[in-house]
């Protein structure tokens, strides 16, 4: 007997629906690419989803583009920082996206290759008991564990490089197979009265604080128990199930210690949630044409083909994890954001395979910084955008796409509000050549200077008050097709949105107060667009009109008391 196989023919197939995978899929679909994303879980988000509950971290310099859009949507919709609402934000971003098909609960387990290319991949969907076979021009592996590496023969590495190979001072003297470990997180809730906790008989017992040297386990601030980590000296793929069993013993044992073994100020706290799906930090890393390493991370990574940036510290965890008595990690922050090149995002020996996420072409030390999810999301957006450029030019190879079209890919990314350090977006010719005036004291030239964030002491922002206007005069009546606005979403805000533990009174989310929530566009004095409910930084408004003058009028900010704010970009074509 055979199980049914459904065949899908698309242009681009993404495996894995973590933050990297969904951004790759959405970016491609928005640029007109028929895309399919296969995700083995019922929810999107990978380690950020309700199943694992890690925060989305990134560089000190905020990531924008799709990840900022997703964050702002969550701030708007998810007032009480609820994990199911967060799942639904990610779910609808994918499900409501034109050109994008999602296969949930579907695990990729096979691939067909010919002449160094992937022809198709196949997944098993557990809920329907069907196989899905996807034929596509390009594939992106965003599965974290790089499932397409063993299935296609794409080159990969697992483990730590020797210091001498890339001149990495932080790498071990000799190469080994060790990685960072896995974790099952826990979350706790503060209540009004004392709560008992009876540990399962199989939980580990930690009678005193001796086990917790260097591991803060007080219920204050942003404690999320990330140091409950095991498996760095085992096989972080093959041993996952065994490690999960050990991690659960640790998780329940740590909570038993906090509740029952010494005063941890936790009498009124109860266990809210335990992750039964281990979060993974590191396993297979693909090999691309460039292997990003410690020097790049620490010297600003200047690449012609920059496609994204990183900036999280070199945050390398000891492979012994919780069993290692010394500090659980080293954390060394780079002085500046560093570029990540397109050449680190495609396979060097499979000619239609891209990747994004923690599996990119980086050394172990490089990965220890690139692995955070806001960085992964921007890598995904770069890959999806690159695929759309390739298809537009009829280009079939990843290497050729990157080498011939990287400038165009960078332009597309910056138009889509991605920040590429060292590059400046060219505002569109119509806006650039028009006469621009504004009311109020702010400098309107900032609206078309191509930099949409404060940088090097310059605000790059048109400072405005409620009622202020900025006006383009094109000298003659011209066709207008699109307006692109970038509002101030306060990139300096605390970008950790979701709670680690649930304190009494709860955490409340809201759009940044600085954001323009209400504005109007007027063409030759006539209103052509108005909204009172904007909650996004990048806003693109399609138009189909002719006009000589186009005015942006600011009518209100997200902070109800707020009367002043800023706009970074007012572009038109």
Ligand X SMILES: Cc1cc2nc3c(=O)[nH]c(=O)nc-3n(C[C@H](O)[C@H](O)[C@H](O)COP(=O)(O)OP(=O)(O)OC[C@H]3O[C@@H](n4cnc5c(N)ncnc54)[C@H](O)[C@@H]3O)c2cc1C
The residue from 26, 28, 35, 39 that contacts ligand X (CB under 6 A) is: 39
Residue 15 contacts ligand X per CB under 6 A? yes
Residue 14 contacts ligand X per CB under 6 A? no
**CA–CA dist 345, 378 (Å, integer):** 12
Cβ(185)–Cβ(53) under 8 Å? yes
CA nearest neighbour of 315 among 25, 54, 59, 38: 59
Strand partners, 330: 316
DSSP 446: G
For tokens 């040297």, name the residue: 213
Cβ neighbours of residue 400 closer than 8 Å, sequence gap 6 or more: none
Q: Which is nearer to ligand X, 418 or 431 (CB)?
A: 418
Residue 34 contacts ligand X per CB under 6 A? no
**CA–CA dist 249, 200 (Å, integer):** 9
Collapse the DSSP code of 117 into the 3-class scheme (helix H, G, I; strand E, B; otherwise coil) and give the result: strand
Residue 361 contacts ligand X per CB under 6 A? no
Residue 66 contacts ligand X per CB under 6 A? no
Minimum gap (Å) between residue 376 Cβ and ligand X: 4
Residue 145 contacts ligand X per CB under 6 A? yes
Minimum gap (Å) between residue 184 Cβ and ligand X: 8
Q: Which is nearer to ligand X, 44 or 474 (CB)?
A: 44
- Report the chain's C-alpha Rg in angstroms: 25
Minimum gap (Å) between residue 377 Cβ and ligand X: 8
Site residues for ligand X, 439-468, by CB under 6 A, read none
Query: Site mask, ligand X, residues 245-284, x = CB under 6 A?
Result: ----------------------------------xxx---
Cα 152–chain centre separation: 26
DSSP 458: B
Residue 543 contacts ligand X per CB under 6 A? no
Q: Which is nearer to ligand X, 226 or 273 (CB)?
A: 226
Residue 183 contacts ligand X per CB under 6 A? yes
Q: Which is nearer to ligand X, 185 or 395 (CB)?
A: 185
Minimum gap (Å) between residue 179 Cβ and ligand X: 11
CA nearest neighbour of 372 among 16, 19, 89: 19
The residue from 266, 306, 373, 395 that contacts ligand X (CB under 6 A) is: 373
CA nearest neighbour of 397 among 386, 407, 408, 382: 386
The residue from 47, 152, 517, 534 that contacts ligand X (CB under 6 A) is: 47
The residue from 26, 29, 104, 108 that contacts ligand X (CB under 6 A) is: 108
Q: Using CB atoms within 10 Å of the CB of residue 98, give its burial: 0 to 12 exposed, 13 to 18 middle, 19+ buried.
A: exposed
Residue 357 contacts ligand X per CB under 6 A? yes
Q: Which stretch binds ligand X (CB under 6 A): 85-93, 141-149, 467-475, 531-539?
A: 141-149
For the chain, the 3-state helix, strand and coil shares in percent, each to the nearest 5, are 25, 30, 45
Instruction: Look at strands 156-157 and 285-286 and give their pairing.
Output: antiparallel
CA nearest neighbour of 322 among 183, 523, 456: 183
The continuous run of DSSP H or E covering 165 comes out as helix 163-166
The residue from 24, 142, 430, 461 that contacts ligand X (CB under 6 A) is: 142
Q: Which is nearer to ligand X, 328 or 512 (CB)?
A: 328
Residue 40 contacts ligand X per CB under 6 A? yes
Sites of contact with ligand X (CB under 6 A): 15-21, 38-41, 46-47, 54-57, 107-108, 123, 142-145, 147, 183, 226, 279-281, 357-358, 371-373, 376
């Amino acid at each position: 007997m055979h199980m049914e196989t459904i065949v899908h023919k698309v242009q681009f197939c993404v495996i894995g629906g973590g933050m990297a995978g969904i951004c790759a899929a959405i970016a491609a679909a928005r640029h007109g690419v028929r895309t399919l994303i296969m995700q083995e879980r019922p929810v999107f988000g990978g380690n950020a989803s309700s199943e694992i509950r890690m925060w989305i971290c990134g560089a000190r310099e905020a990531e924008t583009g799709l990840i900022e859009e997703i964050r702002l949507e969550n701030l708007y919709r998810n007032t009480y920082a609820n994990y199911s609402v967060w799942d639904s934000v990610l779910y609808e971003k994918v499900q409501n996206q034109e050109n994008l098909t999602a296969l949930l609960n579907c695990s990729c387990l096979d691939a067909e290759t010919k002449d160094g290319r992937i022809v198709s991949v196949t997944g098993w969907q557990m809920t329907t008991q069907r196989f899905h076979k996807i034929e596509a021009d390009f594939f992106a592996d965003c599965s974290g564990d790089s499932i397409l590496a063993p299935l296609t023969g794409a080159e990969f590495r697992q483990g730590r490089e020797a210091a001498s190979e890339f001149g990495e001072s932080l790498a071990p003297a000799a190469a080994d197979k060790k990685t960072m470990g896995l974790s099952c997180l826990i979350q706790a809730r503060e209540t009004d009265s004392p709560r008992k906790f009876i540990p399962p008989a199989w939980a580990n017992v930690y009678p005193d604080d001796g086990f917790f040297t260097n591991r803060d386990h007080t219920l204050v601030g942003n404690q999320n128990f990330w140091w409950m980590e095991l498996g760095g000296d085992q096989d972080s793929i093959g041993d996952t199930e065994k490690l999960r069993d050990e991690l659960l013993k640790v998780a329940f044992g740590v909570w038993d210690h906090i509740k029952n073994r010494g005063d941890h100020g936790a009498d009124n706290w109860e266990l809210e949630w335990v992750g039964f799906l281990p979060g993974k930090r590191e396993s297979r890393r693909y090999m691309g044409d460039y292997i990003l390493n410690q020097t790049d991370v620490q010297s600003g990574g200047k690449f012609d083909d920059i496609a994204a940036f990183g900036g999280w510290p070199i945050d390398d965890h000891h492979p012994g994890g919780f069993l290692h008595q010394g500090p659980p990690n080293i954390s060394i922050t780079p002085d500046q954001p560093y570029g990540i090149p397109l050449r680190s995002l495609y396979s060097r020996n499979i000619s239609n395979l891209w990747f994004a996420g923690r599996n990119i072409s980086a050394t172990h030390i490089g990965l220890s910084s690139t692995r955070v999810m806001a960085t992964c999301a921007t890598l995904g957006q770069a890959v999806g955008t690159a695929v759309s450029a390739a298809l537009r030019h009829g280009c079939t190879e990843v290497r050729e796409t990157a080498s011939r079209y990287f400038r165009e890919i960078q332009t597309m990314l910056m138009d889509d509000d991605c920040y590429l350090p060292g590059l400046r977006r060219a505002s569109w010719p119509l806006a650039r050549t028009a006469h621009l005036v504004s009311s109020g004291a702010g400098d309107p030239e900032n609206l078309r200077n191509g930099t949409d964030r404060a940088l090097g002491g310059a605000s790059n922002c048109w400072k405005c008050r409620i009622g202020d206007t900025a006006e383009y005069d094109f000298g003659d009546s011209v066709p207008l097709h699109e307006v692109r606005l970038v509002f101030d979403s306060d990139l300096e805000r605390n970008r950790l949105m979701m709670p680690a533990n649930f304190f009494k009174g709860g955490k409340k989310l809201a759009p940044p107060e600085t954001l323009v929530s209400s504005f109007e566009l007027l063409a030759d004095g006539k209103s052509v667009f108005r909204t009172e409910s904007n909650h996004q930084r990048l806003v693109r408004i399609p138009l189909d009109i002719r006009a000589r003058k186009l005015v942006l009028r600011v009518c209100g900010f997200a902070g109800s008391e707020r009367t002043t704010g800023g706009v970074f970009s007012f572009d038109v074509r």
